[in-house]
Amino acid sequence: MCLVRPRLNDRGRLTDQRVMGQTRMTSDTWGLVLSELRRTVGKNNFTTWIEPIEFAELVNEVAHFRVPTTFVGNWVSRNYGDQILRLISEAGHKVKRLEFSPAAGAAEADDAADRPASAAARRRARPAADEGDLPGAPLDARFTFDSFVVGKPNALAHAAARRVAEGGPVSFNPLFLYGGVGLGKTHLMHAIAWELQTRRPDLRVVYLSAEQFMYRFVQALRDKDMMAFKTLFRSVDVLMVDDVQFIAGKDSTQEEFFHTFNALVDQNKQIIISADRAPGEIKDLEERIKSRLQCGLVVDLHPTDYELRLGILQQKAEHYRKQYKGLVLHDGVLEFLAHRITTNVRVLEGALTRLFAFASLVGKEITLDLTQDCLSDILRQSERKVTVEEIQRKVSEHYNIRLSDMLGPKRPRQIARPRQIAMWLAKQLTSRSLPEIGRRFGGRDHTTVMHGVRRIDELKGTDPQLAEDLELLRRMLES
Ligand code: ADP
Ligand code: MG
């Protein structure tokens, strides 16, 4: 039960109404108060907080309300108490405080927290009793700003995350981070949470995956405990939902997410969302959610570049050098890995972890040879698959000829030579057989391809310009 003392004011209006001497407040008058509240607190807050409370009576200048849980009572009292008092007075009733009592069933649940009770009863009761366990997931201790390497591809996302982590006034809502697998979305969200915990311990910060959100929602439905679910999620100060694409196509979860989202935005609470793609591109996500998600700041994490990968590897290697004292890491190994493993950071980290563990196990120095042996499977998997079409396109661009000419029947040297170069590269960089390559060059015979490849092999020994071109093209195609 909680009490609110009215802010003593001596506004003339109150005095006038006191003179009128009305004492009985009817539900009609409460209805007027309600419609005023609906107007001022916003639709979502109204549905979440005000609608569940029920006016009982006004006696001895105390307005009594029934509430579904103590938590709701506390919340309304703290956030809207003064306003409700003022509105009741303005409606012509003398009132000095509000009293919220849990409805019969709810009172039991509230009390249960202080008594030995079944686990289920406890789980339901606790949120109401102590303002709730935060519904979030645990944070990974390694995912901090300190350990996040900033490069061109993630600089904007990092800056936005930093800004939010300062915990100042909300300047964009939501912050929407998106990008492919393993590019650091979860890392950044955890980093925000850690930072906020230090800077603003007063804030209720909740991080969880969209999947966990759904799980809790379904559980609440099953336990017929939606009230606790709603109040819990609407009472956080910063909400982070990871991998939101997960709820696409899951209708009731989307609906609930949408309401939670709106309620928090209305209260000016910070929301941070991540997904594997831009809001507009998430299939089976409701339009209204998409447009809501686009309202704030949308930033993407680009695929890593060589410098960023090298930076991440150097940081990790530094860490491992301390862990595995005495292990020798040869020059060029990290560069080799940054060059070869371009898929995602998780794979890159996994490779380095394995490499150090392996080297320390067999007691060898980490050389390029050892790296290639130890990581042959990962290296093979992340080999970039160059296609014959890509090769044809790049070579035509390089020699400034039309793609249609390269594939067509023309035979003058300035077209035939680039064609042979493209054939040679196709042979070197793809696993296509000679007949397959021939087919892709306008249906040529495999002997034509073989001839072309041989010709280039000969020429590159004698023509330095050609050798240089081949090297350049190969590097462009493989990067
Ligand atoms: P996502 O959530 O985008 O799939 P994660 O945040 O889980 O990716 O990142 C995958 C792994 O890569 C984590 O171990 C993370 O620490 C690491 N990682 C990603 N980007 C960076 C970075 N810029 N600096 C350091 N580590 C990173
Ligand atoms: Mg993630």
CA 188 to ligand 1 center in whole angstroms: 8
CA of residue 162 to ligand 1 center, whole Å: 16
Q: Domain map of the chain by residue range? A: 6-106, 136-300, 306-381, 388-478
Which ligand 1 atom is at minimum distance from the Cα of 158? 23
- 351-207-250 Cα angle (round to 5): 95
Which distant-in-sequence residues (6+ apart) come within 8 Å of 1 by Cβ?
70, 73, 99, 100, 101, 102
Residues with Cβ within 8 Å of residue 118, at least 6 apart in sequence: none
- Which parts of the chain register pLDDT below 50? 1-22, 107-132
Amino acid at 71: F
- Other CB atoms within a 10 A radius of the CB of residue 174 amount to 26
Biggest alpha carbon–alpha carbon distance for the chain:
110
Among 337, 343, 296, smallest CA distance to 163 is for 296
Q: Return the exposure string of 458-475: e unless at least 16 CB atoms fall within 10 Å of the residue's CB, then b.
A: ebbeeeeeeeebbeebbe
Residues framing ligand 1 (Cβ under 6 A): 143, 147-149, 154, 179, 181-187, 312, 345-346, 349
| Candidates 3.40.50.970, 3.40.50.2000, 3.40.309.10, 3.40.50.300; CATH matching 136-300 | 3.40.50.300
> Which of 346, 348, 352 for mutating ligand 1's site (highest number of atoms within 8 Å of CB)?
346
Give the pair of three-digit tokens for residue 198: 């230090």
Question: Angle 417-422-425 (CA atoms, 0-180°, nearest 5)?
Answer: 125
Dihedrals phi, psi of 462, to nearest 5 degrees: -110, -20
| Domain at 306-381: CATH architecture | Orthogonal Bundle (1.10)
Ligand nearest to the CA of 300: 1
Strands (E), 182-323: 205-209, 238-242, 270-275, 297-301
Cβ contact 445:402 at 8 Å: no
C-alpha dihedral sign at 73, 75, 76, 82? positive
Q: How far is the CA of 319 from the centre of ligand 2 (A)?
A: 22
343, 304, 303, 300: which is closest to 178 by C-alpha? 300
Helix (H, G, I), strand (E, B) or coil at 347: helix
Distance CA 231, CA 50 (A): 12
Cα 346 to chain center, whole Å? 16
* pLDDT at residue number 16: 31
Homologous superfamily of 388-478? DnaA protein, C-terminal DNA-binding domain (1.10.1750.10)
CB within 8 Å of 52: residues ≥ 6 apart = 67, 68, 72, 227
Query: Nearest C-alpha to atom 1 of ligand 1 is from which residue?
Result: 182
Determine the Cα–Cα distance for residues 396 and 402; give it in Å rounded to an integer: 6
Q: Which atom of ligand 1 is nearest to the CA of 148?
A: 24
For residue 35, what are the CA distances in angstroms to 38, 41, 73, 92, 340?
Answer: 5, 10, 19, 16, 64
Whole-number Å distance between alpha carbons of 426 and 99: 80
Atom 13, ligand 1: which residue's CA is nearest? 346
Q: Which of 150, 187, 341 to mutate to test the pocket of ligand 1 (most atoms within 8 A of CB)?
A: 187
The ligand 1 atom nearest the CA atom of 180: 3
Q: How many other C-beta atoms lie within 10 A of the C-beta of residue 15?
A: 10
Task: Give the closest ligand to the alpha carbon of residue 179.
Answer: 1
Entry pTM: 0.62
For atom 25 of ligand 1, the residue with the nearest CA is 148
Q: What fold, for 6-106? A: GMP Synthetase; Chain A, domain 3 (3.30.300)
